[in-house]
Amino acid sequence: MASEIPPDLSRWCPRGAGLISPPQGMTSDVVFVEGCDAPVVLKRCRDPRYTSWLRREHTVLRALPTLPVPVPRVLDSIDREAEGGDVWLVMTRLPGSPLWPWLLDASPTRRADLLNVLGTALRQVHSLALPLVLRNEQGWLDAKLAEAEGNLAWCDGTPGLLSDLVRRKPDPVQETLIHGDLSLDNVLIEGKGISGFVDWPFGGQGDPRSDIALALQTEPEIALQERDFAAFSAGYGSPLLEVDTRRWFADLYEFF
C-alpha cells in the first residue's frame, strides 16, 4: 500500500516511517504509520460499495463534539472516486488495542470489569448533544430497514430474515448520538479504561439500543453470564435490554 499513497498525502508517511497493517479493515485498507512525530492512520477504500461509508466517516468525525471517550481526529483526505479512483482518510491514531481479544482472554472477573467500563463509556457517548449536521428527520429504524433492503445483493442477510425483522420491528425510542457499528473490534482499551472508539461511518442520530446490542454480541466465542450483563448495565446506568430486542438489532447487523 505504501507505493499507492497519493503524493499529496506523502507528508504523513515520511522517509523511514514504519507501516503496519492491523487485522482490521474489512471494507477499507488500513495502515498505521509509526516512527514519526505523531502516529497516524491511513485508511483507503476502493470498493464502490463502501466509498460512501468512508466519506460518511469523514463527515461524522469532523462533526463530533469533544467526547469523554476519545475518537480519531481527521488530518487530511483525498477523494478520487469521480475519476474512477479511491477515497483516502488520514486520522490520528488512538492509543490502545481492540477490546475483543482482551475479552476473549479475560477471566470471569476481568471480563465483567471490562464490560462495566464499556457500559460507562457508551453511556457518555449517548448522553451528548447531537450535532446539527448529524441529525435526520426519518426514524432510524425505518431508515436502516430500507437500507438493509438495498444491501441484499451483497450482504449476509437474506430476504426471509429482512421480512422477519420488519414484522418484529421494536417500538421506537428516543434517538441519541450513536456510534452505529460498535463491534468490540471498534472499541480500544488501554490499561483499565476505554481509550477510544474507532470506525464511525454509521455514527450520528440513531437508536441507542443498536450500540448496546452489538457491544454485547459475543457468541459463539463467549457466552456472557448474568454477572457480565449486570456489570454492563451498571456501567450504562439502565436496565438491560430484553433478549429478543438484543437479537433483533444483532440480526439487523447482518445487512451491513
> How does DSSP assign 150-210, residue by residue?
HTTTTSS--HHHHHHHHHTPPPP---EEE-S---GGGEEEETTEEEEE---TT-EEE-HHH
Element (H, E) at 194: strand 193-197
pLDDT averaged per 10 residues, the chain (length 256) = 85 86 82 87 92 95 88 96 90 96 97 98 95 93 97 95 98 97 96 94 97 97 97 96 96 96
What pLDDT, in 10s, does the model give residues 94-125? 999 999 999 999 999 999 999 999 999 999 99
What dihedral angle (degrees, nearest 10) is formed by the CA atoms of 39, 40, 41, 46?
Answer: -140
Residue whose grid cell is 474489512: 26
Q: What is the pTM of this model?
A: 0.93
Domains of the chain: 2-92 (3.30.200.20), 97-255 (3.90.1200.10)
Directed axis angle between helix 140-150 and helix 159-167, to 10°?
Answer: 170
What pLDDT, in 10s, does the model give residues 161-185? 999 999 999 999 999 999 999 999 9
